[in-house]
Each structure stands twice: as C-alpha cells, then as structure tokens.
C-alpha cells in the first residue's frame, strides 16, 4: 500500500493564523504613559494612571465591542413621513442603539466635561485629551458630536461674563458640559458654494424678535431674536440638541448663531391655532443623509433651514472670528484622534509581525519590515509629543500657566499672554493638518503590513484596519483641509509680529537641546525657514503657494525639538535613538513635505554614497 502523503489543506484543516487578544491599550502603550509623565505634575499623574488603566480596560470590554458592532451594522436613516404621506412635525433621525450608547458613555466619562471641571486645575485639557486618546479608537465616531459640543461650550464660556444669570447661554453651557443629562451641539458652517471659504454662505438671518416670550423645551433658548433660513450641505450632528451656525445678516457679512434643533411653539407665534406648547422642528428639515466613504455610523446630513429661531453669539458681522473658538477646539480632537488611530494601527501591525512567519523568519525579524514599522514608531512618538504639547498650551492659555519648575521634563513654553496665543494658534492648525495627513498614509501602511487580511473590511472584526483607514481619512478634510490649514498657518505666522513670537519660543526651545548634533541641525533648519519667512513677509502670495511645505517644515522642526527634549529628560536610550532618526535622518514621514533645503541638514550627507552607504 502506498504511504499516505501530507493531508491537503481544506476549509477545516491546515494553517489558520490567530492574533492574540487585544491588550489593555493604556498598559500596552508605554510611550503614551511616558509622554503624559512629561506634561502632568506628579500628583495628577498618580491619580490618572490607575483611572486610565481602568478606563482602557473598559474600552476592550465585550459591551463596548458590541456597541461598536451595532453602530457599524445599523447605519442611521431618516423617517420623514407617516404612512399617510404627511410629513412628521420633526424629521425622525434613527441612529443605532450602539451609537447612542457610545455617545452617552463618552459624555459620562467626561470626554467633554473634564475640560471644564476644576478637578485637574490648569491641566484639565491634558487629562481630557488623554482620555479622548483612549476613547477615540472605540468611540464609533461619537467623538465628532462630542468635539463640537466641547467647542460650543468653549465658545459660550467666553460669552458668559456680563450676561445675566437668566440668559439662556448659562443653561446651555451647563448642559453641554454636564456628564449626565447632557446636551450635544452641532457646527453648521459648510454650504454648497464652499466649505473652506465660508464667505460664500447662502444662509441669511433676519432680526425678528418675539413680541412676548414663553419658555419652551430648551427654556429661553427657544426664543432667539433671529430667524435663519438657508441650506447647510454637511451636518454631522443632525441629532444634536443645539447647534452653532453661520449666517449673513442685513449687512451681507457673516455672524454666528446658536439655535436649538427643536422648540416649543410660543403663544405669541401661534395665532390662536391651538399649537401653543407643542414641540416642533425649529425650522430644520433633513434633506437627505450622505452616502460616505467612511464614518458611516455618523448621521451626516444635508439640512434645509426655514425660519430657524436663533440667538446671535458674539458681535454682529464677526461670525468667523467668533466661531474660530469652536474650530480650534474641534481641531484638537481631530489631531488627538489621528494620533490614537496611528498608535492603534501600529500596535496591530506589531502584533501581527510578532506572530507571522515569512520565508522562514518571523516577520518582525526581516530588516525591511522592521524598518517600515520603526519609521511609523518615530512618527507616532513625534506626533504624540506635538499633540500633547499643543494640548498643554491650550490648557495653560485657558487656565493659567504652571509655576516654573512644576513640569520638570516639559520643553520650554512660550511666554503667557500674546506670545502663547500666537504659538498655540500656529500649533493647532499645524498639528491638525500634519497628523491627519500622516494618519492616512500611516493607516495605509499598517493595512499593507497585514498583507491581504489588512484589506478586509469585516464589520465584526474590532481590529479592522480597513475601517480605521476609511474613518480616519476624513480628518484631513473636515475642520479645514491640509491646504486650507496651510494657508491659515502662513497667514497667521506672517501677520503682524507673530513670526517674532514664534521665533522667540522656538529658538529658546532649540537652544535648550543638550545634544550638540541635534541642536545644530535644528538651529540650521529653523534658521533657514525663519530667515526665508522673514525675507518674504511682504510676498504672502508667494509664501502661500508653498504653504504646505512651510507648515510641514515647521512641524518637522517642532517635532524634532520635542523628541530631543523627550530624550534628554532621563537619557532613555530608545528615546535618544528616535530623536536621532527624526532629527538627523528625517525619518518619521514628515520629510516628504519639507521645503527643499529647509529640513534635515544631514540629508545631503545621506546621499553622499561613499560616506553613507555602509551605514544603511
């Protein structure tokens, strides 16, 4: 009898790859812990580390997984009419139970509230965004409405001083910042003629105060003095309680408004029709929900507005300046979520590389694959520093700067006041743009690192890199595209004395870098960029044409400085190697957008084959 050969594989038999169970994402992320230790004082760190460990454990619980799967499987839809064909008083946007549960959980866990509570004092934004970093990858995109809620709260807080206690903004602010029974807010800016250039807005607001006022569903918020009509092309918080929006007034200029999405009919407007007290739409009709590449859990809609009763926020004709308070907050959420996604993608790729065998070697042991992952590690560490430095500055500009010496390991901060505000605005735009753009490239690399399985888009798979790539791609578009933020960056940096404020801070930070090679490389790069910006200050159009390179070069230099400070704080060997690769080799990804002759002074040497080939 012939000897039986190996059993051929079948669907039931043969090799099946298996990934290990996800680990607690806080424990499995030592670099994030290291970064937090630089930006938080010891007493707060001691309190939040156990809390974050518990929260991170919850993020991988079966319950949270189920909510995410449910949000992914049951996409939102709208019921507009009853069976007889009559339009409902309020369009019924139906979202999944999982999506609603995730949003409620996020609010209760304080992803918005921590930024307004006093518990962490000056450091509240850092703790808040550290929590968001853990929440974001499992948030089912509920970070989107929560971020806009945060932004609206920040904006309203700036308006509260001087308003009587009975003014509805007080209650709205309290609701937006509450952990339970909280409201969410939308942000309606984008219209068909343009979302980057909001001056093209076709929505108008007419001053039409009510003759007598009856408090409604949202208290006095229901009784705004303006009636707003128009068409909003993108609304991601279609099921919000309230929204901030832009509209033109009589002057033809933009103003900012706050309105509830539903309201109670007041006696003054009912005209004896028996409708007083009835809850109706506040003039909002859902035209349709969008079909999107990703973010499918999120109910993004086109909205028709007809006589939406709204309150003016901030001075009339100052709509963009007013709503920019909101924009800067949501942009921070965007970059934190981009950084978190990259770290999660890299974690999955590393886990896969540890378990997969190719050509007789474990995947991680192949130098080219290892280099690919190491490059991402440099990038993620750099962006973690950039993101949390920016968030720290946001926290301190809002709450006051720490006493000198409290943060022993933190890089130098700009001076409080105007200098800090100028640096913060530059960093917020740059961090949002560069991390979001890099997140797209990085998630694609993480997908490729898993081979064909990386491309699978199985809704039941929680570690679904394909979905993460689809979802994260939007970060480079919403809240300002890469080029729009580059333009915002250039215009801001070249405005008045802003470049000098930035130079004072950055030069001080670079001068404090102990390693001579790093310091000289950074001085050369920044000296070059600063000199070119100063020389071309009056040629803004020319600088705008290379705005993307300017912003990426600046970001690369800041990332290098922050990594150098990270390395020198305790001489950690790995941190030193990451700083070296970033500063001297330009590794980590930012180099792709550098202005020629600005970045990576040693790059020229790298192409001097006789010197460098042996080191590759």
Binding site for ligand UCC (CB under 6 A): 136, 143-144, 147-148, 187, 189-190, 195-196, 198-199, 236, 320-321, 324, 327-328, 330, 333-334, 337, 425, 478-480, 484, 488
Minimum CB separation of residue 71 from ligand FAD in Å reads 15
Minimum CB separation of residue 470 from ligand FAD in Å reads 11
> Do the beta carbons of residue 149 and residue 132 sit within 8 Å?
no
Stretch that binds ligand FAD, among 156-164, 234-242, 316-324, 589-597 (CB under 6 A): 234-242
Residue 295 touches which of ligand UCC, ligand FAD, none (Cβ within 5-8 Å per kind): ligand FAD
Does residue 96 belong to the site contacting ligand FAD (CB under 6 A)?
no
C-alpha–C-alpha distance, residues 221 and 405, integer Å: 45
Minimum CB separation of residue 368 from ligand FAD in Å reads 33
Minimum CB separation of residue 494 from ligand FAD in Å reads 15
Of 290-319, binders to ligand FAD (CB under 6 A) are 292, 295, 300
Residue 315 vs 362, nearer CB to ligand UCC:
315
User: What DSSP element (H or E) covers 202?
Assistant: none
How many residues bind ligand FAD (CB under 6 A)? The answer is 21
Residue 199 touches which of ligand UCC, ligand FAD, none (Cβ within 5-8 Å per kind): ligand UCC
Does residue 549 belong to the site contacting ligand FAD (CB under 6 A)?
no
CA dihedral for 505, 508, 510, 514, sign (positive or negative): negative
> Do the beta carbons of residue 326 and residue 319 sit within 8 Å?
no
Minimum CB separation of residue 425 from ligand FAD in Å reads 17
Instruction: Provide the mask over 134-173, with x wherever binding to ligand FAD is found by CB under 6 A and - wherever it is not.
Output: ----------------------------------------
- Tokens at 128, concatenated: 């808040």
User: What DSSP element (H or E) covers 185?
Assistant: strand 185-188
CA neighbor of 581 nearest in space, from 385, 344, 377, 440: 377
> Do the beta carbons of residue 454 and residue 448 sit within 8 Å?
yes
What Cα–Cα distance (Å) separates residue 116 from each residue in 141, 355, 547?
A: 22, 44, 35
Secondary structure of 38-49 in the HEC alphabet? Answer: HHCCHHHHHHHH
End-to-end Cα separation, the chain, in angstroms = 57
Helix (H, G, I), strand (E, B) or coil at 293: coil
Residue 300 touches which of ligand FAD, ligand UCC, none (Cβ within 5-8 Å per kind): ligand FAD
CA neighbor of 465 nearest in space, from 438, 441, 440, 446: 446
Residue 440 touches which of ligand FAD, ligand UCC, none (Cβ within 5-8 Å per kind): none
Minimum CB separation of residue 104 from ligand UCC in Å reads 16
Helix (H, G, I), strand (E, B) or coil at 270: helix
SS3 content of the chain, % helix, strand, coil (to 5): 55, 15, 35
C-alpha–C-alpha distance, residues 122 and 115, integer Å: 10
Minimum CB separation of residue 244 from ligand UCC in Å reads 9
CA neighbor of 78 nearest in space, from 307, 303, 306: 303
In angstroms, how far is CA 498 from the centroid of its own chain? 25
Minimum CB separation of residue 301 from ligand FAD in Å reads 9
Residue 216 vs 387, nearer CB to ligand UCC:
387
Query: Closest residue (Cβ) to ligand FAD?
Result: 195
Does residue 491 belong to the site contacting ligand FAD (CB under 6 A)?
no
Binding residues vs ligand FAD (CB under 6 A): 187-190, 194-196, 234-237, 292, 295, 300, 474, 477-478, 481, 483-484, 487
């Amino acid at each position: 009898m012939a000897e039986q050969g190996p059993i051929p594989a079948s669907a039931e038999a043969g090799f099946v790859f298996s990934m290990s169970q996800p680990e607690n994402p806080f424990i499995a992320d030592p670099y994030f812990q290291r970064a937090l230790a630089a930006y938080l004082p010891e007493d707060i760190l001691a309190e939040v580390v156990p809390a974050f460990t518990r929260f991170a454990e919850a993020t991988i619980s079966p319950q949270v997984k189920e909510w995410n799967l449910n949000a992914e499987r049951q996409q939102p839809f709208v019921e507009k009419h009853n069976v007889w064909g009559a339009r409902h008083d309020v369009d019924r946007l139906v979202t999944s139970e999982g999506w609603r549960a995730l949003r409620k959980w996020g609010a209760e866990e304080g992803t918005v509230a921590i930024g307004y509570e006093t518990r962490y004092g000056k450091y509240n934004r850092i703790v808040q965004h550290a929590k968001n970093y853990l929440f974001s990858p499992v948030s089912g995109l509920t970070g989107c409405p929560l971020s806009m809620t945060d932004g609206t709260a920040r904006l309203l807080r700036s308006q509260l001083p001087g308003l009587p206690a009975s003014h509805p903004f007080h209650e709205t602010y309290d609701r937006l910042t509450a952990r339970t029974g909280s409201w969410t807010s939308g942000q309606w800016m984008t219209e068909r003629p343009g979302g980057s250039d909001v001056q093209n807005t076709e929505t108008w607001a007419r001053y039409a105060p009510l003759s007598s006022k009856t408090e409604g569903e949202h208290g006095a918020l229901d009784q705004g003095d303006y009636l707003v009509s128009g068409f909003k092309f993108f609304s991601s918080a279609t099921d919000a309680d309230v929204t901030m929006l832009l509209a033109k007034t009589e002057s033809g200029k933009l103003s900012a408004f706050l309105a509830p999405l539903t309201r109670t009919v007041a006696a003054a407007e009912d005209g004896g029709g028996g409708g007083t007290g009835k809850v109706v739409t506040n003039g909002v009709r859902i035209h349709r929900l969008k079909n999107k590449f990703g973010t499918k859990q999120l109910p993004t809609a086109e909205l028709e507005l007809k006589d939406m009763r709204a309150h003016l926020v901030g001075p009339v004709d100052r709509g963009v300046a007013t709503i920019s308070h909101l924009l800067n907050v949501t942009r921070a959420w965007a970059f934190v979520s981009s950084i978190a996604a990259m770290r999660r993608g890299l974690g999955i790729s590393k886990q896969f590389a540890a378990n997969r065998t190719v050509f007789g070697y474990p995947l991680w042991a192949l130098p080219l694959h290892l280099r690919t992952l190491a490059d991402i590690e440099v990038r993620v560490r750099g962006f973690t520093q950039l993101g949390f430095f920016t968030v720290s500055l946001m926290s301190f500009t809002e709450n006051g700067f720490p006493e000198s010496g409290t943060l022993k390991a933190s890089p130098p901060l700009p001076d409080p006041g105007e200098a800090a505000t100028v640096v913060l605005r530059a960093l917020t735009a740059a961090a949002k743009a560069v991390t979001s753009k890099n997140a797209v490239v990085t998630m694609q690399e993480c997908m490729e690192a898993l081979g064909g399985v990386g491309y699978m888009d199985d809704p039941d798979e929680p570690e679904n890199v394909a979905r993460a790539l689809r979802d994260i791609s939007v970060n480079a578009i919403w809240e300002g595209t890469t080029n729009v933020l580059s333009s915002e960056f250039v215009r801001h940096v070249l405005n008045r004395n802003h470049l000098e404020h930035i130079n004072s801070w950055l030069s001080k930070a670079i001068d404090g870098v102990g390693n001579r090679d790093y310091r000289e490389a950074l001085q050369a790069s920044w000296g070059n960029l600063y000199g070119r910006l100063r020389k071309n200050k009056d040629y803004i159009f020319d600088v705008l044409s290379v705005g993307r390179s300017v912003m990426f070069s600046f970001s690369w230099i800041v990332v290098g400085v922050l990594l150098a400070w990270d390395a020198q704080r305790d001489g950690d060997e790995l941190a030193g190697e990451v700083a070296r690769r970033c500063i001297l080799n330009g590794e980590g990804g930012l180099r792709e957008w550098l202005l020629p002759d600005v970045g990576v002074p040693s790059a020229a040497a790298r192409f001097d084959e006789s010197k460098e080939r042996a080191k590759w």
